[in-house]
Amino acid sequence: MISNLLIKSISPKLKNEDFIETVINVELNFKAIVLGDGIGSHYKPDEGSEFCVKSLKKHLENCKSLNGIDFKELFKKVHSELKENFSNIEDDTIDKTQAYGTTLICAIELEDKYIVAYLGNGSAWHIRGNFHTFSPQRYLPWNAINVLNPHTVEENGKEALYKFIALESTENQILPSVIEINKDNELFGDIIIISTDGLYSNDHNPIAKDREGNIWIAGERKMELLFNRLKNLINENKFEEQTINDSIDEYLKEINESKLVDDDTTFGIIFNNIYQQKT
């Protein structure tokens, strides 16, 4: 499996409540990225996101069979371990339904497909490797799609999570959505991006009407700049690990200096079989 994994996180705050890790299971020949976004209104959200990400990473690394990649059961195990680790060290005045809360997103790369499992919001982009061939006038090519439908409802004009992991969560709250995507190993390759909502989330993307009644959908400048970086990498056919890392570091510097980072911003990218398309 010829692919590169890259993870990044940046925050304007003193304490970053996001957490992200990569996973490599040599025995089963798969790679993965796991990330969590601690819920800011909860008690110790940074500890919750770190613990849950590390717990899921451990279970994936210890998997001995592909049949063991059952995200319903894996997320149950993560929740059970969170309760076991933290329940006895907190006093009874803490609302356990509002403690250590976090979203959780995982993207796994297998030989012939990707599996994305998630609780909460954020994004999970599937991008065809030829997306750079579209004209510059297209803000987002039609083969760059965010497949993460957020687990949020509207409350008082804002999004509110109804699925997440916390110290006390219902069975339905920790039941993940799971998406499978067949890989393009023959033609253009794929790019998978998963992120917290600091980079992108559908529930942060306003839709309105103009004075003539036409529907207007807001764009996200951070995504536009990230796509431009990825296009440049493909056009220049530069997919060495250090080159990718340097380019994304420059991207983080760019969005930070442009004051586009207003929340913890964490993402992971999987590059698979990307090459310069011959025209």
Condensed to tens digits (0 to 9), the pLDDT of residues 146-195 reads 999 999 998 888 889 999 999 999 999 999 999 999 998 888 889 999 99
User: CB of 172 within 8 A of CB of 161?
Assistant: no
Report the alpha-carbon distance of residue 265 to residue 60 in Å, rounded: 24
Encoded tokens for 241: 């690990």
Q: What is the pLDDT of residue 277?
A: 46
For range 24-51, the mean pLDDT: 96
210: pLDDT confidence band, cut at 50, 70 and 90? low
pTM attached to this predicted model: 0.92
52: pLDDT confidence band, cut at 50, 70 and 90? very high
Q: What is the pLDDT of residue 278?
A: 40
Q: What is the pLDDT of residue 157?
A: 80
Cα 143 to Cα 54, 108, 120, distances in angstroms: 32, 20, 24
275: pLDDT confidence band, cut at 50, 70 and 90? low
For range 227-244, the mean pLDDT: 84
For range 39-61, the mean pLDDT: 97
pLDDT at residue 93 greater than cutoff 70:
yes
User: CB of 107 within 8 A of CB of 91?
Assistant: no
pLDDT at residue 8 greater than cutoff 90:
yes
Q: Is 9 helix (H, G, I), strand (E, B) or coil?
A: strand
Domains and CATH numbers, the chain: 3-272 (3.60.40.10)
pLDDT at residue 202 greater than cutoff 80:
yes
Using a pLDDT cut of 70, give the percent of the chain over it. 91
More confident residue, 215 or 16: 16
- The model's pLDDT over 95-138, given as tens digits with 9 standing for 90+, comes to 999 999 999 999 999 999 999 999 999 999 999 888 887 777 76
Report the alpha-carbon distance of residue 164 to residue 254 in Å, rounded: 31
